Amino acid sequence: MKLTGRLAAAPDDFIRQEFLEPQFRHEVVHLLRWYVLIEKALLGEYRRLGVLSDAQAGRLAAALDGLTPDQLTAGAAGALSDIALAMEVEVGKALPEPVPAWHVDRSRNDLQACAQLLHGREQVSDIAVLAGQLAEVALERASHDVTSPMPGYTHLQAAQVVTPGFYLSAVAEHALRFSSRLLGTYDRINLSPLGAGPMAGQELAWDRNLLARAIGCQGPVPHALVAVASRDWLLDVAADIASAGTGFSRFLTDLMAWGSSAYGLVELPDELAGISAAMPQKKNYPLLERLRGRTGHLTAFYVDFASCQRNTPYSNMVEVSKEAGVHASTMFAATRSVLAGFTLVVEKLRWRTDRMRAAAEEDHFGGFSLANELTLRAGVPWRTAQVVAGRYVSAVLAGGNGHAGHGDPAALVAAALEAGHVLDDPGSYLTNSLDVDAQLRAKLSSGSTSPSSVAALLAEQRERLGVLREQWDERRAAVRDAIAATDASLLPGGAA
């Protein structure tokens, strides 16, 4: 390509090799199809404006469809390693005669901003599919066991009795919330930058609403400067991903602890495990470590994008439009990896129900229930009831029974008398507090760990998953329909 403007020399090899060529390769792989769609949308407007004839628009559309990554890459050096210029050169070669008005009143700024957005929009949609699959697997596994008691921990200490189904329903909830947040972000960012030009708009009467619909967007970005200067959409998506990754890291931390020899509550099959080269008795779970480590990258991506945007002028800047998003595809790939890997873990996870029950029965999880009964049945003030229950547990442990799961009515009587209360039939206060299965049934509030509450929650979550899937299907269908309509409009006899 002949150089234009003030420059009389090609880019230095350092600039070309370090910046231009890597960017070109990335865009050819990830953004080419979106550049082609955008160019077709622009052809429709050129034709509507009377700048191009139907025949010219049709020939240009056919040439755009004929572009291949190899073809563009081969000609990159002669087009300043810029995908927009390379497309222009290669399309020109395929035309029987030049079309002088093609790309009149156009800028690469809104073109690039739009291609990046459409790629990001597609990635968000794909990630939502994986989040839905995780939710589905978690719901399925949860439904199989809502009755096996296991210790629930707060502050890393045994706290209350829960079940595998209760815990996995929390995993499903996190995945559903992630998908829902992405849906809101998708709708918020699905606005077209086309028509913004370099920064202040364009001189032809482009119909930006038509342009937006042609590429499957809900409408145009209202402000021309914002359309090319902002990459808020990337920050919004990265924030959703970072937040979700933080939650996934916490679930993985639980599984890493519960799968350790110290707990032994869960295990993964051998194909998802690793070995120690020096200690053959060990069964390690490096997959969990890899996944948790990868969630750390999800947080770092947001910081990276924000750091490269902050303190830059509010206009089109290569620093923002290209350098700030250089790791966007890596973020999307890492997110897909975390979701797919965690889904596999949830699907293959084995709950050691015998160890879980033994651990639940080993400790005294009924202190909360005991305090409730002391207040509701014996009229012991709530805070005093907490003191009585705590002293009762301490007395049992000190008595040498080995654990607080053994009932000791005499110890309860003594603890109550110390607080100034006399109990009739003290053993009856201990019945539910000593029975781990009763502990599950005792929770009556919605969203709790009782089998009936978990079953109701799972049904509600399945309903939400179905609604989310329908909503995501609608978004994807809208994009497909827009692409098909844009293609059809450029065929001979297509809509004007």
424 CB neighbour count, 10 Å cutoff: 8
What does the alpha-carbon distance between residue 316 and residue 481 come to, in Å, rounded to a whole number? 31
192 φ/ψ angles, rounded to the nearest 5 degrees: -85, 130
Alpha-carbon torsion angle 247, 249, 250, 256, nearest 10: 150
What is the pLDDT at residue 4?
65
What does the alpha-carbon distance between residue 457 and residue 471 come to, in Å, rounded to a whole number? 21
pLDDT along the chain (496 residues), means of 10: 70 92 94 97 97 96 96 90 94 95 95 97 98 98 96 91 97 98 98 95 96 97 96 97 98 96 94 81 89 97 96 93 94 98 98 94 86 93 94 83 67 91 90 87 92 97 98 98 95 66
> Which two tokens mark 47?
């034709």
> Which two tokens mark 396?
């049992």
191 dihedral zone (left: phi>0; alpha: psi -120 to 50; beta): beta
What is the pLDDT at residue 496?
46
Domain-wise residue ranges, the chain = 13-104, 109-353+458-485, 364-441
Tens of pLDDT along 393-418? 888 888 765 455 567 899 999 999 99
What is the pLDDT at residue 158?
87
**Which residue, 472, 463, 471, 466, is CA-closest to 124?**
472
Please count the residues of the chain.
Answer: 496
- Residue 66 CA, chain-centre distance (Å), reads 35
What does the alpha-carbon distance between residue 35 and residue 65 come to, in Å, rounded to a whole number? 11
> Which two tokens mark 37?
């769609």
Collect contacts of 404-409 with beta carbons under 8 A, ≥24 apart: 404/363, 404/364, 405/361, 405/362, 405/363, 405/364, 405/434, 406/434, 407/434
What is the pLDDT at residue 324?
92
The answer to whether 31 and 83 are in contact (CB under 8 A) is yes
What is the pLDDT at residue 429?
87
- Residue for token pair 């966007």: 328
The CATH classification number of 364-441 equals 1.10.40
What is the pLDDT at residue 266?
96
The CATH classification number of 109-353+458-485 equals 1.20.200.10
39 CB neighbour count, 10 Å cutoff: 23
The answer to whether 109 and 199 are in contact (CB under 8 A) is yes
Amino acid letter at 227?
A: A
